[in-house]
A = this chain, B = another copy of it.
Amino acid sequence: MGSAVARRLVTAGCTVLTNLDGRSDATRERACAAGMQDVPLPELAARAEWVLSILPPSEAYNFAQSYREAHATAAKPSTGRVAFADCNAVNPQTVKTIAGLFSGTAISFVDAGIIGGPPKDGYDPVFYASVDPADAGVLDDFVGLSKYGLRISPLRGEGAGIGDASALKMSYAGITKGMTGICTAMILAAHSSSPATAEALLHELYDSQRPTLQRITRAVPDMLPKAYRWIGEMEEISAFVGGGEGSIHHGIAKLYERIERSMGEEGDGEDVKVLKDFVQDAKKLIEKNQK
């Protein structure tokens, strides 16, 4: 996601800095191909007018803290508005903690949540954004980044503030990745009872829940290679939902861990095979009856 967003901005004429200390060669190659400049963090802190944090959720807080420290001691502090937008799939409580790092500094804070896949030709995900009402101007400035090719949607309604863009991202992903997780868990459970049970499930879904079966044929194959990345996000959603219902997405995180194991080189691939076979049979059934 980060490199695709950077490419959009570079294409629009922006200078995009990044700091790749300790990152892999693959990440460096991707960053270079996207037109980003790898600079030390103090230089980034001194030069950048906008910081867009796009990282695995577990790294969001540490990066914000490192940036704030680098900015505080930067040799030549940047002039004019400096703003930090956390665009990560972290829960609203985490984003409020991150926002707290910047209170009392000259750095404005934007809570952003990206809904959709990486930007590509003809497609852009939406950056939802919310801010502290006491610093409302930064939301207009963030929306102003639209002119560089980003699709930005501000949350301005009743009671909106820091945490809401992240809550929206969690709610949306909780539905989409949650529904895929539930379907996956139940296909595996049916098959573990007997192959005949999974086959009957397929036919009953075809008869009485066809849109759900069609969704399965797209969403399950799309999920398999991404499951390992979704584990942390599901745990964030679990913390966001809280209460007894919080265990829904904790269970889905466990399911995605199971998929990651089955996908891995050490795994037996059995779960993945069951899911791929189910999807293939579903597609055949749908195609056969469309003719």
Contact = CB atoms under 8 A, between A and B. Distances in A.
Given A186-B175, A250-B251, A196 B244 contact: no
A92 B193 CA distance: 8
Interface string A180-204: 0111011101100111111111001
Contacts of A245: 185, 189, 251-252, 254-255, 258
Contacts of A186: 170-172, 174-175, 178, 241
A163 interface: yes
Q: Is the interface of A mostly helix, strand, loop or mixed?
A: helix
A179 to B, nearest CB: 5
Scoring A159, A172, A257 by chain B CB atoms within 10 A of each residue's CB, the highest score goes to A172
A27 interface: no
A168 interface: yes
Contact of A250 (B128, B182, B247): B247
Contacts of A212: 175-176, 179
Contacts of A175: 182-183, 186, 205, 209, 212
A182 B241 CA distance: 11
Interface residues of A, number: 66
Interface of A: 92, 115-116, 126, 128, 153, 155-161, 163-164, 167-168, 170-172, 174-176, 178-179, 181-183, 185-187, 189-190, 193-201, 204-205, 208-209, 211-212, 215, 240-241, 243-255, 257-258
Given A186-B241, A245-B251, 8 more contacts: A128-B200, A167-B193, A167-B197, A168-B204, A172-B201, A176-B209, A243-B254, A244-B253
